[in-house]
Amino acid sequence: MITFLSTLLRHYIFCFIGASLRFLWDLIIIKTKKKHQSIKFKDYHNYDENSDTEIIDAIVGFIVFGIIIFISIKVINKHSW
């Protein structure tokens, strides 16, 4: 059960957040430089072709997920009576 939960968190949540951030970053860069290049999200989340980015996406996703949880807890505590 623990293995299933850790795999679910690492691969599906943290990697998804990391790949989403890489995709959004590249999309912003392309739009600001006004290049006419199309990118697809499945290229960023396809770890069969480029498995080196999976651990980077997991680490970035873990950090971003932690920041979101931290901010959410602070906001909830501030607005609770």
* pLDDT at residue 14 greater than cutoff 80: yes
Q: Are 22 and 57 in contact (CB under 8 A)?
A: yes
Any idea of the CA torsion for 12, 16, 17, 22, to the nearest 10 degrees?
Answer: 160
Q: Are 61 and 10 in contact (CB under 8 A)?
A: no
**Cα 46 to the center of its chain, rounded Å:** 13
What average pLDDT does range 72-78 have in this prediction?
91
| pTM as predicted | 0.74
- Residue 81 has a pLDDT of 63
Per the structure, the count of domains in the chain is: 1
Structural domain boundaries enclosing 12: 2-79
- Residue 50 has a pLDDT of 75
